[in-house]
Structure 1
C-alpha cells in the first residue's frame, strides 16, 4: 500500500486524465497530476501494472464512448477505493485480532509457566512430604521400639516401687522409734536444764557475794589511790625542783662545752701551725740534702781535677803538697 494516500486507483485516474488530454502518462506527469504526492517507485509500479492490464482490456472490451469510459473509470476507482478501505479495515481487524491473540498467548504462556512452577513446587512438596512420611514411619518404628522398652522399664519400676514402699514402711517404723527416743531425750534435757539452772542460780549468788567483797576491796583501793595521788603530787614538786637543778647543771655543762670547743679550736690551730712547721722543716731538710749531694759531687770532681793537675805538675814541682778537700767549706 502506497504512503500518503497514493493507491492504484489514484494513479489510474491521473493516467487516464493525461491520456484524455493527449499527453504521455510519464512518471513525472502522473506525479504532477496527483499534486506532487507519492513516490516515483510506487507510481512506476502502478503504471506498469496498468499498462500490463491495458491490452487485455482493449481486446476483451469493445471501444466505448468517452462518457461511458469515464463512468467505468469512476466505478473502477470507487471499487478500488472501497476495496482498499475494506482491505485496510480487514488489516486493522487482523492486527487487533493478532494483538489480542498475542496478548492471550502471552497470558497463556504466563499461566503455563505459573502452572509449571506450581507443578514443580507441588512435586517438591510431594517429595518433601514423601520424605517426611518416610521419616515419620521410621520415627514411628523407633517410638514403638521405645514404647516397648518403656513398658518393660515401667514394669521394672513398679517392682522397684513396691520395694521402695516396703522400705518406706520400714523407715516410718524407724522414724517412730526415733521420735520416741527424741521425746525421751527432750525430757532428760529438760531435767538437765533445770538442774543447770539451779546450779547457775547458786553460782550467781556466789558471784554476787564476791562482787560485794570486791566493792569493799575497791573502796580500800580508792583510799590507797588517794594517798598515792598525794604522794604523787609531792613527788611531782620534788621532780620540778630536780628539773630546775638539772637545768642549772645543763647550763653549766653548755658553758663547759663552749670552753671545750674554744680550746679544741685553739688546739686545732696549734696543730695546723705544727704541721706547717713540720712541712717547712721537711723542705729545709730536703734542700740541705740536695745541697750536700751537690757539694759531694763537686768535691769528687775537684779531687779528680786535682789528681790530674798533680800528675801533670809532678815533673815541674815535685815538692808541692796536695790540698785536702775532705772537709767541706763553711756555708
Structure 2
C-alpha cells in the first residue's frame, strides 16, 4: 500500500464530506492494506501538509482535520488496545478451555476406572457365588461319599464279622474232628493192647473154644469195620473242614482288596476335607477382596465428585471471564463511537 494511494483516497473522502478515518480509507481502497500502514501514511501526509507552503485552511477545516486525526488516532489506539485485550482474553479462554478439557478428561478417566472397578467387583462377586456353589456341592458330595463309605465300611465289617464267626465255627469243628480221631486212635490202641493181653491170657482157652472164638472174631471183625467206618467219616469231616478253611482263606483274600479300597476311600475323604478347607480359605480371601474393592469404589466416587465440582467451578470461572470480556468489548465499542 503506497502513500499516494492513501492520500488519493483521503482527498476523495474529504471532497465527499466524509470523515477520512482509517476504516473509511481502507474501505475506499477496496478493503486492502493494514491499518498500521494506513495510519503511518496518514501521519506522513499530515506532516507534509503542515510543512508545505499551501494557503492556510479555515479554522473549521482545521478543526475538522484535527478532529479527524484525533479520531483516527483514537480509533487506531483503541483497536490496538482491543487487539491486545482480545489476544489476552483469547489466551485466558484457551487456558480455561484446556483446563476444562483436562478436568473433563480426568472425570472421564475416573468414570472409566470406576466402571472397571465395578466390573471387577461384579466379577469378584460372581466368582464368590461360584465358589460358594462349588463349596456347597463339595460339602454335599463329601457328606454323600462319607455316608456311602460308612455304609460300605459297615457292610465290610459285618462281612468280616460273619467270616470270623464262620472261621471260629470251622475251627471248632476241626478241633472236634481232631479230638474224635485222637479218641478213636486211643480207643483202638487200648483195644488192641487189651485184645493182645486177652489173647495171650486166653490162647489156650481160645484153642479149646475155636468155634466160640470164631464167632467172637466175627463180631470183632464187625466192630472193627464199624470203627473203620467211623474213621472214614471222621476223615470226610476233616476233608470238609479243610475245604471250608480254604473257602475262608479265599473269602479273606477277597476281603483284602475291599479293605484296600476302604483305605483309598478314607484317603479320598481326607483329600476332600482338605479341598473343603482350601475352598473355605479362598472364600475368606474373596470376602477380603470384595471389602477392599468396596472401599476403593467409595474412594473413587469421592474423587469423581471432587473432579465434577472442580469442573463446575472452572466452568463458572470461564463463564465469568467470557462475561467480563463481552462487557469490556461493549464498553470499548461504546467509547469508540463518535459523538
State if a TM-score over 0.5 links the two structures: no
Q: Give the TM-score normalised by structure 1.
A: 0.31
Larger radius of gyration: 1
Tell me which protein shows more helix as a share of its residues.
Answer: 2
- Larger RCO, structure (CA 8 Å, separation 6 or more): 2
Q: Give the TM-score normalised by structure 2.
A: 0.30
